[in-house]
A and B are shown apart, each in its own frame.
Chain A
Amino acid sequence: EVQLVESGGGLVQPGGSLRLSCAASGFTLSDYNMNWVRQAPGKGLEWVSYISGSGSTIYNADSVKGRFTISRDNAKRSLYLQMNSLRAGDTAVYHCARGLYYKESGWYFDFWGRGTLVTVSS
């Protein structure tokens, strides 16, 4: 069974940093592209970052460029999101979401974690 479990969320002051983790199980992490998607309280979904299976290709939403860094450690079956210079607008539940098998073309997220809440407030 595919499982994605996020951790690392919490309350942080504006300008602060936080590192999120996503533990993957039930599949070979290195075979899949991975993403972070966030959802502000009561709002819709917003794609944040993408990383290819090998980690060689990374895409980021304009809203987080230069502040957030996605990375992965396939040996540890983990995905990460380093978030710096946090703003109130970054307050959201952050979901880890599995993308496509590395040999396939396309764009969708077939498994999601339940998310971890990040609150940016003084």
Chain B
Amino acid sequence: QTALSQPASVSGSPGQSITISCIGTSSDVGGYNYVSWYQQHPGKAPTLMIYDVSNRPSGVSNRFSGSKSGNTASLTISGLQAEDEGVYYCSSYTSRTSGLFGGGTKLTVL
């Protein structure tokens, strides 16, 4: 099954906002409100940042927000901080009773 499509990299300056897109199909992103986003720092395990499209787990900054329109989900980070650097992955449930990840987006804070 083909991975969800994410840009390879995005960048922004401290204080700015950036948005990472995650493009799927009607069989995954578009068909379910089960999109989640993960942050991963080098050598570390991923951390859940957003679940069910737009919900934040306890402890995650409200600078992180998620949304979805059709087959495209988005993660927005406002007020960029140096600690936000890392790789971000989207994930979705699929109609094939399976999970699917995006290829990952490397965020650089300039």
Q: Which residues of A contact B (CB under 8 A)?
A: 35, 37, 44-47, 50, 59-62, 95, 106-115
Bound-state CA distance A20–B31 (Å) is 33
The answer to whether A114 and B48 touch (CB under 8 A), given A47-B91, A108-B34, is no
Given the known A-B contacts A44-B101, A45-B104, A62-B1, are A107 and B48 also in contact in the complex, defined by CB atoms under 8 Å?
no
Cross-chain contact B44 with A108 (CB below 8 angstroms)? no
Contacts of A60 in B (CB 8 A): 98
In the bound complex, CA of A114 to CA of B47 (Å): 11
Number of residues on chain B facing chain A (CB within 8 A): 27
B46 within 8 A of A: yes
Given contacts A60-B98, A95-B45, 11 further A-B contacts (CB under 8 A): A35-B99, A44-B102, A44-B104, A47-B100, A62-B98, A106-B51, A107-B93, A108-B51, A109-B46, A112-B46, A112-B47
Contact call B91/A44, Cβ cutoff below 8 A: no
Q: Please, which residues of chain B bring their CB within 8 A of the CB of A106? A: 34, 51-52, 93
Q: Which residue of A50, A112, A115 contacts B99 across the interface (Cβ within 8 Å)?
A: A50
> Max chain A CB contacts within 10 Å: which of B3, B47, B57, B98?
B98
A61: which B residues are within 8 A, CB to CB? 1, 98-99
Inter-subunit contact A110/B99 (CB<8 Å):
no
Given A108-B51, A110-B48, A115-B45, A45 contacting B97 (CB threshold 8 A): no
A113–B97 touching, CB < 8 Å: no
Instruction: Report the nearest B residue to A48, measured CB to CB.
Output: B99
A residues within 8 A CB of B36?
A: 107-109
**Option from B32, B45, B91, B97 in Cβ contact (under 8 Å) with A59:** B97
Closest CB in chain A relative to B41 CB, distance in Å: 12
A111 to B45, alpha carbons, bound, how many Å?
Answer: 9
Q: Is the CB of A114 within 8 A of B51?
A: no
Within 8 Å by CB of A47, from B32, B44, B99, B104, lies B99
B3 x A109 contact (CB < 8 A): no
Q: Which residue of A lies closest to B43 (CB)?
A: A114
